[in-house]
Amino acid sequence: MQHGLASPGPGDPLGPLAAELEALPPERRRRLRALQPHGPAGLAPSPEGRPLLDLASNDYLGLSRHPRLQEAARQSIACDGVGAGASRLVSGSRPIHHALEQALAQWLGRERVLLFPSGFQANLAAVQALADRHSLVLADRLIHHSLLVGVQASGARLRRFRHNDLSDLEAKLQYARADGQAQRRVLVLSESLFSMEGTCPDVPRLVALCRKHGAALLLDEAHALGVLGSGGRGLGYGAGEIQLISGTFGKAFGSGGAFLACDALVGDWLLQHSGPFRYTTALAPPLAAAALAAMELIQHSESQRQRLLERAERWRSALEAAGWPRPAGFGPVLPLLVGDDQRALDLQQQLEAQGLLSVAIRPPTVPSGTARLRLVLRQDLPEGSLDLLLRALGSA
């Protein structure tokens, strides 16, 4: 039997998939490629391939290959094995899980933390904890796909507000409360550092608006934790009115997995009712051990964080001086807006030919007409990386 994208016959259950793939423009198609680690901040397309300076990964502090994380993972494997073997509510809970949860709760000033194998699962659980089919969800237009899937799974009504436009959010909150639905549960969704935009909302004002209008707030801190906020604890640190904070260990923590931080009431609800928590194998113990080691390092990394943010400001100014649109925001994510999908792919290949890895981000990950190179700064990038980038980009 031949498999491919030939026109499906009538009644073919996979016909819609084949038709959709056939209609996908070449510049929108995704492809997987294996990249071999090559030094502290390098990757190569194969063991024999030319090394590429990594300007793409979210390993902001360069901790994924830190000796203390590697040693913590090795010790955990020797003690607990590689996988947990079951969900947390069966036999998969290990002392390292509890140690990490307690350490995170103390560090973030929260009453309860629960671990999840992925940020996607954590966000699904978070939305379903705070919203149901009777709820209204007001979400930033550019929130992560996992949060949108969570809204869909909850059955809540969704309305979007303009990206980081808190005046638009306030208008929608006022309308929600004046629409004869004063007692309706309202949930606001935002991120503290938007991973494709590099931008941050005014979190204190966001919290104040939600408090004023009686709305719950879920703040995704995946890309801010370890880098932004007091002690690297994110931009929501100290704002007790945030009902749920989600975070991941796959970015600045250099490990894998995720967590939700909340008060005791929401934490107990998640433990008793959350399907994404209950029906999944527990986070692999070596990843939990590495995340705990990373958190301890992050607590003593103020100077590295400051240097990273100062470097980000220099890169933004230098790109603007070279004629490129100034990347928005102030953190380590620098989106270089291009607009056209193919042009973004061409720039990706142009940089790779000069030994730099930066991936073209295209719709549907970003809105149509806003394709970009997503440049990511890491604490361990060598000096001279900016000059290499400017030469490789050439004239804007």
Which position among 251, 274, 358, 385 bears the catalytic label?
Answer: 251
Structure tokens at 30: 């995704």
Catalytic residue among 164, 223, 274, 358: 223
Q: Among 195, 255, 274, 301, which one carries the catalytic annotation?
A: 195
Active site residue 223: yes
Catalytic residue check, 58: yes
- State yes or no: cis peptide before 364, omega within 30 of 0: yes
220 is catalytic: yes
Lateral strand order in the sheet of 186-191: 112-116, 258-262, 244-248, 216-220, 186-191, 136-140, 157-161
Phi, psi of 162 (to 5 degrees): -60, 145
Which residues make Cβ contacts (< 8 Å) with residue 394, sequence separation at least 6? 350
Closest Cα to residue 280, out of 117, 45, 111, 393?
Answer: 117
Cβ contacts of 210 within 8 Å, gap of 6 or more:
173, 188, 216, 217, 241
Catalytic, out of 59, 101, 140, 220? 220
Joined together, the tokens standing for residue 206 give 């966001």
Burial of residue 67, with CB atoms counted within 10 A of its CB: 0-12 exposed, 13-18 middle, 19 or more buried? exposed
| β pairing state of 157-161 and 136-140 | parallel
Distance CA 101, CA 88 (A): 13
Count of CA atoms in the C-beta half-sphere (13 A) of 376: 28
Q: From the candidates 58, 123, 255, 385, which is the catalytic residue?
A: 58
Strand, helix or coil for residue 245: strand
Give DSSP secondary structure letters for 275-321. HHHHTSBPPPHHHHHHHHHHHHHHTT-HHHHHHHHHHHHHHHHHHHH
Is 164 one of the annotated active-site residues of the chain? no
- The H or E element that residue 161 is part of is strand 157-161
Provide the token pair at 43. 């990757």
Distances from the Cα of 37 to the Cαs of 109, 377, 388, in angstroms? Answer: 36, 17, 20
In eight-state DSSP terms, residue 146 is H
195 is known as an active-site residue: yes
Of these residues, 59, 76, 97, 144, which one is catalytic?
144
Catalytic residue among 54, 59, 80, 191: 191
Give the residue numbers annotated as catalytic, written as ranges. Answer: 58, 144, 191, 195, 220, 223, 251
